[in-house]
Amino acid sequence: MFKIHKDVRRLTNEEKKQYIDCGYVKNLPVFSPDAAKDLHYFFEELSSRLPSEIDINKTNMWHKASKKFFNLCRTPEILDYVEDILGPNFVQWGGQFFHKEPHSGSIVPWHQDAQYWPLKPANAVTVWLAVYDTDIENGAMKVVSGSHKKGAGGFSHHTNDSKDYVLDQEVSLDQIDKKKIVHMDLKAGEISLHNDALLHGSDPNKSDRRRCGITMRFSPTNVKGDLNEWPFFETQLARGVDDYNLNPVALTPRGEATPIKRFCCSREFEKDW
C-alpha cells in the first residue's frame, strides 16, 4: 500500500525478550521515510470525512468501516511483527486514531488497556503506527516499563471525566513508578507494540507539529469477548486459522464508510460500501 522501509525485518530475540520483560517494543521500521507524506494524506483524507463536531479520538472500528484502513492493517510486515509476539493465529478487533493538533491540550490518562476491554484471556497486542514523527514535545505515548507484570487489574483505576481526557479511566500518579517511564518516540512509518496490561498514557502536544498514531488491536484466536458488555465485539482473522470460533466475525469492508462513534457493528457500515 505504502512504500516499505528498506530495513524492515522480524523481531530480534532481544526485542522478544524486551516485550516479555518490559511490555513494549518501539522503533520497528515498517514504512519508508518517503511514505510519510502518503501516511499524512491517508490520515487527512479519512479524518476529513468526519462531521466537524465529531472528535476523531472518540471514533473507533475504522478497520470494520474502511477498506483502506483494513488494508493498512493487513500490511504483511506489520503482521510479521505481531506474529513474533502472538504466534501464527490471531485476529484483529480494534482500529482507531489517536490525534493531537499542534498545541492541543488533549491528554490520555495513565491506564491499562485491559481495564477497558472485556476480553479473556487478556493477551492483546497493540500496534501504534506513527503517522507523523512523534516525540516528547508533541505528546508521544509514554509507558511505565515492566508495569504489565502486575497483570490486568493490577492497578486501580478511577473515572475522570475531564474534558481534555480522551479516555476516562485513570490510574492515580501515586501508583506510577516515575523512574520507569519511557517515551515512545517514533519516526513516521515506525511502529511500537505494547501489551494490554502495560501502564501508558500521553501528555498534551506542546509543539507546532501534528501528532497522530493509528492503533490496531490484535489478540490470539483463543480470545473471547463478553458480548453482554460489548455487543458490537467482532473479530477479523488477521493471520493463520481460527480453530476456536468464539466470536462473531466482522464483515470485511468492501468500500469506504466512516465510523462516527466508538462502537459499531460491521453491518452498520454495509450500506455505504
Ligand X SMILES: O=C(O)CCC(=O)C(=O)O
How far is it, in rounded angstroms, from Cα 87 to Cα 45?
34
Tracing cell 497483570 back to the chain, one arrives at 151
Using CB under 6 A, which of 108, 114, 197, 257 touches ligand X?
108
Using CB under 6 A, which of 113, 170, 185, 242 touches ligand X?
113
At closest approach, how far in Å is the CB of 112 from ligand X?
9
Largest CA distance in the chain: 50
Asked if residue 200 binds ligand X (CB under 6 A), the reply is: yes
CA atoms within 13 A of residue 102's CA, in its CB half-sphere: 3
Asked if residue 215 binds ligand X (CB under 6 A), the reply is: yes
What mask of x and - would describe binding to ligand X in positions 129 to 168, judged by CB under 6 A?
A: ------------x---------------------------
Nearer to ligand X, 68 or 183 (CB): 183
At closest approach, how far in Å is the CB of 167 from ligand X?
7
Q: Look up residue 149 and give its three cell numbers.
A: 507484570
**What's phi and psi for 50, nearest 5 deg?**
-80, 140
Using CB under 6 A, which of 128, 165, 232, 269 touches ligand X?
128
How far is it, in rounded angstroms, from Cα 89 to Cα 248?
16
At closest approach, how far in Å is the CB of 41 from ligand X?
20
How far is it, in rounded angstroms, from Cα 153 to Cα 63?
27
At closest approach, how far in Å is the CB of 273 from ligand X?
27
b/e per residue 227-244 (b: at least 16 CB within 10 A) = eeeeebbbbbebbbebee
At closest approach, how far in Å is the CB of 110 from ligand X?
10
* Site of interaction with ligand X (CB under 6 A): 98, 108, 113, 126, 128, 141, 200, 202, 213, 215
